[in-house]
Amino acid sequence: MSAVSVNDVSVAFGSLKVFDGISLDIEEGEFVVLLGPSGCGKSTLLNAVAGLIEVEEGQIWIGGNNVTWEEPKDRGIAMVFQSYALYPRMSVRENMSFGLRMAKTPKAEIARRVERAAELLQIAHLLDRRPDQLSGGQRQRVAIGRALVRDAAVFLFDEPLSNLDAQLRNELRVEIKRLHQQMNGTTMIYVTHDQIEAMTLADRIAVMKDRRIQQLGTPHEIYHRPANLFVAGFVGSPRMNFIEGRIDQGGEGPIFRSGALALPLAAEHAPRALETGRLVTLGIRPEHLALDPAGPWDGFQAELLETHGADNLVWCGNGQVSLQLRLPGDVSLKRGEMLTLAPDPARVSLFDSESGERL
């Protein structure tokens, strides 16, 4: 039984359909991240799960119950928002206990839960302050605390770290991950446009674009076996290199060819649909291109060098194709230097140029 399941759900704003039959099943205790550019519908999907947006068609199940028509408070969920959404003019303690007080929870029980959440999030010393006396990071901790006291089985996060600066974001990201590990069996759904958050937090990522789930998979799958050109280009920084070309027939099987560049394709790509002459796009990540004087791709000139410390990025081109490569930090190059590259044929991705789908 899934902890959360979205069955064929459609959402409409007026006459404008936002989703048309979207489905998603999430296991108990799983951490699922909805990742995508703004406007892709990830927040709308989360709001539909929360019951903050009414669905037009389909069903939403949480914890084995059909909650499609339930009020948000009755769905057994808790939610954390980008703007923190703390109740102003209420102390941290009141913020965390307001919902429980409304639900007529016994006082002792409220105190116990607030205590526990505050301890878990290290905000016990802030309990009597008011939101406007807190920093951004502290506010978001309180907002998470307010969600914690609800003792919900499912946690929903709507871009919770987007309003924070980079360092706090990293800190709180780790905190959320730790929280998930400590709370055994708690399911979390997390919306973000930040791929690092998605990669680091998720058990599974649902990459979304144009109100569709483009790919649902583990971070490893998403990164190494992107389902289409969009996923391949969206996840990974620096971006995956794309080379337009066609399939050719070589001595030992199909070859990818683009101008002067050729690459024998690994066995795993063959023999599916690799008929000769088919237009394809080859995708290769910058770290899967090595410098090798014996490599097959020569004639590349280093155009731009970027030092990142742990590694270096190199922009290079051969007049037709521009490629980025990621080299270890101790390799030093000069601008204008001629390079010979060796792609790792086992780690390239092939996409149909027309449909953009993975082959």
Partner 1 sequence: MASVSMAAEAAVPRTRRRWNAAASLALLPAAVIVLVVYLGCMVWTVRLSFSSSKLLPVLDWVGVRQYSRLFANERFLISVENIVLFGVLFIAGCLVLGFLLAVFIDQKVRSEAAFRTIFLYPYAMSFVVTGLAWQWFLNPTLGLQKIVRDLGFESFTFDWLVNQDMVVYTLVIAGVWHGSGLVMCILLAGLRGVDEDLWKAARIDGIPTWRVYLSIVLPLLGPMIVTAVVLLATSVVKLYDLVVAMTHGGPGIASEVPAKFVMDHFFERNNIGLATAAATMMLISVAAVLAPWVYARYIRPQGRRA
Partner 2 sequence: MTTSAPSGRKPRHLTVDRIGVYAFLAIAAVFFLLPLWIMLMTSLKTMEEIRLGSIIAFPSELTFEPWLKAWASACTGLDCNGIRVGFWNSVKILIPSVALSIALGCVTGYALSFWRVKGANMMFGILLLGAFIPYQVFLYPLVRIFATTGLYNSLACIVIVHVIFGLPVMTLLFRNFYAGLPIELFKAARVDGGGFWSIFLLVILPMSTPILIVATILQVTGIWNDFLFGLTFAGRENLPMTVQLNNIVNSTQGERTYNVDMAATMLTAIVPLAVYFVSGRWFVRGIASGAVKG
**Residues binding partner 2 (CB under 8 A):** 7, 10, 54-59, 66, 68-69
38 interacts with partner 1 by CB under 8 A: no
13 interacts with partner 1 by CB under 8 A: no
| Partners of 322 in beta bridges | 317
Residues 6+ apart with CB under 8 A from 244: 258, 279, 281, 353
315 in Cβ contact with 243 (< 8 Å): no
315 interacts with partner 1 by CB under 8 A: no
Rounded CA-CA distance 248/101 in Å is 70
Reading phi first (left if > 0) and then psi (alpha if -120 to 50, else beta), residue 236 is in left
Of 88-96, 116-124, 212-220, 247-255, which part binds partner 1 (CB under 8 A)? 88-96
Q: Binding partner of residue 186 among partner 1, partner 2, none, CB under 5 to 8 Å per kind?
A: none
Q: How far is the CB of 147 from partner 1 (least distance, A)?
A: 8
Of 46-54, 223-231, 260-268, 334-342, which part binds partner 1 (CB under 8 A)? 46-54
Rounded CA-CA distance 315/350 in Å is 22
Distances (CA, A) of 39 to 3, 192, 203, 213, 227: 26, 12, 24, 13, 20
Q: Tell me phi and psi for residue 177, to 5 degrees.
A: -65, -45
Q: Binding partner of residue 59 among partner 2, partner 1, none, CB under 5 to 8 Å per kind?
A: partner 2
Rounded CA-CA distance 348/241 in Å is 10
164 interacts with partner 1 by CB under 8 A: no
Q: Binding partner of residue 134 among partner 1, partner 2, none, CB under 5 to 8 Å per kind?
A: none
- Expressed in angstroms, the distance from the first to the final Cα of the chain is 32
78 interacts with partner 1 by CB under 8 A: yes
| Partners of 244 in beta bridges | 281
Shorter beta-carbon distance to partner 1: residue 72 or 295: 72
Distances (CA, A) of 247 to 131, 188, 255: 61, 43, 6
Q: How far is the CB of 57 from partner 2 (least distance, A)?
A: 4
Q: Binding partner of residue 68 among partner 2, partner 1, none, CB under 5 to 8 Å per kind?
A: partner 2
| Eight-class DSSP state of 357 | B
Q: Binding partner of residue 103 among partner 1, partner 2, none, CB under 5 to 8 Å per kind?
A: partner 1
Of 50-58, 277-285, 300-308, 338-346, which part binds partner 1 (CB under 8 A)? 50-58
Q: Tell me phi and psi for residue 224, to 5 degrees.
A: -95, -25
Q: Binding partner of residue 125 among partner 2, partner 1, none, CB under 5 to 8 Å per kind?
A: none
Shorter beta-carbon distance to partner 1: residue 78 or 207: 78
Buried b (16+ CB within 10 A) or exposed e, 49-62: bbbebebeebebbb
Shorter beta-carbon distance to partner 1: residue 156 or 314: 156
Q: Binding partner of residue 52 among partner 2, partner 1, none, CB under 5 to 8 Å per kind?
A: partner 1
Residues 6+ apart with CB under 8 A from 120: 145, 148, 179, 182
Q: Binding partner of residue 89 among partner 2, partner 1, none, CB under 5 to 8 Å per kind?
A: partner 1
Of positions 6, 32, 34, 79, contacts partner 1 by CB under 8 A = 79
Shorter beta-carbon distance to partner 2: residue 7 or 187: 7
Of 61-69, 71-79, 201-209, 306-314, which part binds partner 1 (CB under 8 A)? 71-79
Query: Which residue type sits at 143?
Result: A
Rounded CA-CA distance 113/216 in Å is 35
Shorter beta-carbon distance to partner 1: residue 81 or 315: 81
Residues 99-158 binding partner 1 (CB under 8 A) are 99, 102-103, 143, 146, 150, 158
Residues contributing to the site for partner 1 (CB under 8 A): 47, 50-52, 71-74, 77-79, 81-90, 98-99, 102-103, 143, 146, 150, 158
